[in-house]
Amino acid sequence: MGARKTTLGRDVARVLARPFVDVDEAIAAEHGPIPELFATHGEAAFREIEARFVRETLAQPEPTVIAVGGGAVETPGLLHDGGATVVHLPIDVETAWERVRRSPRPLAQDEAEFRRRFELRAPLYAELADATAADVDDVVLAAAGVHVERGALQRLGELVPDDGQVALVSDSNVAGIHGMDAQLALGTRLGETHELPPGEEAKTLAAVDRLWQELRLDRSGTIVALGGGCTTDAAGFAAATYLRGIAWTPVPTSLVAQVDAAIGGKTAIDLPQGKNLVGAFHWPERTVVDSALLETLPEPQRLEGMAEVVKAGLLADKPFWELPDDEFVRRSIAYKAATCLRDPFEQGERAVLNLGHTFAHALEAAAGYEGLSHGRAVALGLLAALRLSGRDTHAVEEVLRPQPARVDRERAWQAMQRDKKARDGVLRLVLLGVEGPEWGVVLPEADVRRELDRLIA
């Protein structure tokens, strides 16, 4: 009681575009005021009614945000019926009592009894919760299966869901830095290790084919992808297709992977004609993000990831890039996770996450995926998108300091024509409109080509 489940629940439902049900409000609407229900029928009868409401709501096909009373934890098995994600909103007993002591709540009339109940329920909350949350972003992360914690790599064995064998996939560079820590944390669950080539070479058919052939997991196994965005893209695609799909857990080690590539279930490999042209939507069982891993990043790689942080901030209309590291990681992930949960298969608004990427992918393809990094290409793409949106480019220029790319202009334009968002041969862009991000925007070809040319040295 007093943890503000209803207030936060409504906000989460709005952010995720899901229905919201407050169980106490629903009971009161059908049975009358809860204090009267308690007085007439007793707490046991109330718990039976509460359990029925929760089970009926969980049985609905549409994902729903549900605020349940603090005592629902006392009904065995109730909260995890139907595979619900259970999120605990912690509160200390002093604050809780201060918030509810003047209310008509039946279990908030006696302070001693209130404190006794608090102590009784505390271990049940800890046992049943899949995650704890302090704000809307924390709940969104829990709903998306994203665990953000400094030092999480050392707890990897307990954070990877289920109990099957694990295949650890990394590249030689990351394996040399974090591989042993990951292996020790996985302990007896670790069944096999594999290496992908570093960088975009990991996202080739040859590299993934070799991984497919080396894997020995059965369908109860899990691929753990430890590395940057190329590793998580390729290992995730291998997981999506091996044995027609097995579980996977990305453990992103670069900033760009933590705030973007490893979030949302998009996996892919490249073709010579373009980036990410072969792939699948395959949502991870859990994504484990340890911001402490960023401390080993050289400054150029950090700058790479900041392109995605700036992108998220522009889309959210909030300057994430001005926040401390741990916080801009959490906020950027939460923004992308919420967008992906609203549109898991990119049938609509998820396309906004490609802000600047139509230009970026064209530049990368024109460079043959050599000599032009993804982050630098995204920084340039954001410039073009902001210019076409009529927006100020100061944040991109100040934080990312993009420099023109040395690529062939015609090759870049041809690659842009093959962008995944094109329809019927017409290029469609993501821009920032007056009321927020817009997708599927069609502009005169001459204007688009002019801005692409401005990005090329």
Same domain, 119 and 172: no
Same domain, 89 and 122: yes
For the domain that residue 433 is a member of, what is the CATH number?
Answer: 1.20.1090.10
Q: pLDDT value at position 156?
A: 98
Residues 219-250 pLDDT 10s = 999 999 999 999 999 999 999 999 999 999 99
Tell me the mean pLDDT in the region 186-194: 97
With respect to residue 377, please indicate whether it lies within any of the assigned structural domains. Answer: yes
Residues 383-427 pLDDT 10s = 999 999 999 999 999 999 999 999 999 999 999 988 877 777 789
Q: pLDDT value at position 424?
A: 77
CA-based R_g, the chain, Å: 24
Tell me the mean pLDDT in the region 130-155: 97
For the domain that residue 99 is a member of, what is the CATH number?
Answer: 3.40.50.300
Of 297, 314, 336, which closes a domain? 297
Q: pLDDT value at position 423?
A: 79
Same domain, 244 and 386: no
Average pLDDT, the chain: 95
Tell me the mean pLDDT in the region 90-99: 96
Rounded distance between C-alpha atoms, residue 176 and residue 178, angstroms: 6
The encoded tokens of residue 143 equal 């709903």
Range(s) of the domain holding residue 405: 349-454
With respect to residue 329, please indicate whether it lies within any of the assigned structural domains. Answer: no
Same domain, 214 and 98: no
Same domain, 152 and 283: yes
Q: Is 311's pLDDT higher than 90?
A: yes
Q: Is 117's pLDDT higher than 90?
A: yes
Give 165-218 as a DSSP string. Answer: -EEEEEEHHHIIIIIHHHHHHHGGGEEEEEEEPSGGGGGSHHHHHHHHHH----
Same domain, 265 and 123: no
pLDDT band at 272 (very low <50, low <70, confident <90, very high): confident
Q: pLDDT value at position 273?
A: 80
The residue type at 180: M
Tell me the mean pLDDT in the region 311-328: 97
Same domain, 120 and 190: no
Q: Is 369's pLDDT higher than 90?
A: no
SS3 268: strand
Tell me the mean pLDDT in the region 353-363: 96
Total count of domains within the chain:
3
Tell me the mean pLDDT in the region 181-209: 97
Residues 13-36 pLDDT 10s = 999 999 999 999 999 999 999 999
By percentage, how much of the chain surpasses pLDDT 90?
A: 91
Of 265, 281, 297, which closes a domain? 297
Same domain, 128 and 155: no
Look at residues 160, 153, 217, 162 and name the one whose alpha carbon lies nearest to residue 185.
Answer: 153
Same domain, 27 and 163: no
pLDDT band at 194 (very low <50, low <70, confident <90, very high): very high
Give 405-437 as a DSSP string. Answer: B---HHHHHHHHHT-TT-BTTB--EEEEETTEE
With respect to residue 340, please indicate whether it lies within any of the assigned structural domains. Answer: no
DSSP letter at 3 equals S
**Residue 321 Cα distances to 252, 314, 324, 383, angstroms:** 19, 10, 8, 16
With respect to residue 75, please indicate whether it lies within any of the assigned structural domains. Answer: yes
Q: pLDDT value at position 164?
A: 95
Same domain, 123 and 170: no
Same domain, 117 and 204: no
Same domain, 58 and 157: no
Tell me the mean pLDDT in the region 114-134: 95
For the domain that residue 196 is a member of, what is the CATH number?
Answer: 3.40.50.1970
Rounded distance between C-alpha atoms, residue 234 and residue 217, angstroms: 17
Q: Is 81's pLDDT higher than 80?
A: no
DSSP letter at 277 equals E
pTM above 0.85, yes or no: yes
